[in-house]
Amino acid sequence: MDINIAKAAEIIQTAKHLIALTGAGVSTESGIPDFRSKGGLWDVYDPAEYATIHAFHETPEKVWEMTFAMREITKNAKPNQGHRALAELEKLGILKCIITQNIDNLHQEAGSRCVIEYHGNASRLECLKCGKKYGREEYAANIEKKTPPRCKKCDSILKLSVIYFGEMIPHEAVARSQEAAQKADAVMVIGTSAVVYPAAGIPLIAKQHDAVIIEFNTEETGLTGYATDIFVHGKTGTTLPELLRQIKSS
């Protein structure tokens, strides 16, 4: 087991305002591929081509084609031990909030309550024309039949309530994350390559306010050796439960 987990546990136990920034890596063990997995979905559907707001305006059917392919892979995804460990850290009063770049709703399903959705949530839909919002369950039949869902009010093709490349991050998510980063004395940076801005700037804001940065990843990132104070190497489905175990047993 990575010796740095013990160091991380020590810092986390004494932290007064611990927050976490999570990325696709925390969900790979639930069967959802991250952008870096080779030979996967993202080699077929390049996010730069399919996951842009421009593509949605031009050819929404094409964006839905990617969504349906993603759905086939992810429809049975359940929270893993990493998500559950984070939810328990919050219940213990140690972790104050998670800022997630994921759109898969798995932190919420694991029981985390304070989750700032930086890139939206694929379990909701919205109409860009008239602004009406929908729950995904209302369109379960469309999604099953792979037909792009249409607005019941104005008949436009609906968009998942996720932030595509080229869209603004929701103002509330940015404001709450910045406030949390300024207040934080420790930040867990979990399963993110920390290259997609502005989310990747969150640990840097915290660092400027003297927070300790603890990174959990299977490989080094742009933050490692630059902003990271403690690097915990390994899969988060293993390292996060071990961290929780050490915190609870001390």
Residues that bind Zn ion (CB under 5 A): 127, 129-130, 132, 151, 153-154, 156
CB of residue 141 vs Zn ion: minimum separation in angstroms?
A: 18
Span interacting with ligand NAD, options 13-21, 95-103, 138-146, 180-188, rule CB under 6 A: 95-103
CB of residue 99 vs Zn ion: minimum separation in angstroms?
A: 30
Catalytic residue among 119, 171, 209, 233: 119
| Distances in whole angstroms, Cα of residue 73 to Cα of each of 36, 41, 78, 169 | 16, 9, 12, 26
**Is 148 among the residues that bind ligand NAD (CB under 6 A)?**
no
Question: Quick one: 142 exposed, middle or buried, by C-beta within 10 A (0-12, 13-18, 19+)?
Answer: middle
Binding to ligand NAD by CB under 6 A, coded x per residue (else -) over 174-193, reads -----------------xxx
20-117-75-69 Cα dihedral, nearest 10 degrees: -110
Q: Which of residues 129 and 233 has its CB atom nearest to Zn ion in the complex? A: 129
Of 128, 191, 195, 121, the residue nearest 163 (C-alpha):
121
**Is 235 among the residues that bind ligand NAD (CB under 6 A)?**
yes
**Is 143 among the residues that bind ligand NAD (CB under 6 A)?**
no
Question: In sequence order, which ranges of 139-230 are alpha helices (DSSP H)?
Answer: 140-145, 171-183, 202-208
Q: Which of residues 67 and 151 has its CB atom nearest to ligand NAD in the complex? A: 67
Out of 4, 112, 177, 217, the residue judged to bind ligand NAD by CB under 6 A: 217
The owner of tokens 């603004």 is 168
Per the CB < 8 A criterion, the answer to whether 66 and 159 are in contact is no
Of 128, 137, 119, the residue nearest 159 (C-alpha):
128
Round to whole Å and give the CA distance between 95 and 213: 14
Q: Which of residues 35 and 45 has its CB atom nearest to ligand NAD in the complex? A: 35
Q: Which does 28 bind (CB under 5 to 8 A by kind): ligand NAD, Zn ion, none?
A: ligand NAD
Contacts of 42 (CB under 8 A, 6+ apart): 33, 35
3-state DSSP assignment of residue 118: coil
Binding to ligand NAD by CB under 6 A, coded x per residue (else -) over 16-35, reads -------xxx-xxx--x-xx
| 54 tagged catalytic | no
Of 178, 166, 197, the residue nearest 63 (C-alpha):
166
**Is 38 among the residues that bind ligand NAD (CB under 6 A)?**
no
Count of residues near ligand NAD by CB under 6 A: 27
Residues designated as active site: 119
Q: Catalog residues that contact ligand NAD under the rule CB under 6 A.
A: 23-25, 27-29, 32, 34-36, 101-104, 119, 191-193, 196, 216-219, 221, 235-237
